[in-house]
Amino acid sequence: MVMDTVQIRISDGLVKLIDNLVKKGIYSNRSEAIRDAVRSFVWKKEVGTIKNLGESVEIVKNARKKLSERLSDKDLEEVNSLS
């Protein structure tokens, strides 16, 4: 999977918190922690944007299928762990 590079500026306090998550083994590196935070942010913003037409299970299955086609195996494992 090809990823774009994005430069961000964050406070020293946030960097220390991220580094603590890496030290604890929750994330393998800073980038993975930040990607997870961005995914969570985007996911929370998208909640409620899908109309409930009674086929929500099918909608979620289709969304997961589309995600699996675009994500790496490790990212897909993370998505699967959300259910």
User: What is residue 66's predicted lDDT score, i.e. its pLDDT?
Assistant: 78
Residue ranges per domain, the chain? Answer: 1-49, 50-83
pTM more than 0.85? no
Alpha carbon 17 to chain centroid distance?
A: 18
User: What is residue 22's predicted lDDT score, i.e. its pLDDT?
Assistant: 95
Over residues 65-82, the pLDDT tens digits come to 777 677 666 665 666 666
Alpha carbon 65 to chain centroid distance?
A: 15
CATH topology classification for 1-49: Arc Repressor Mutant (1.10.1220)
Helices and strands counted in the chain (H then E): 4, 0
Dihedral sign, CA of 12, 14, 18, 21?
positive
Q: Which residues of the chain have pLDDT under 50?
A: none
Amino acid at residue number 77:
E
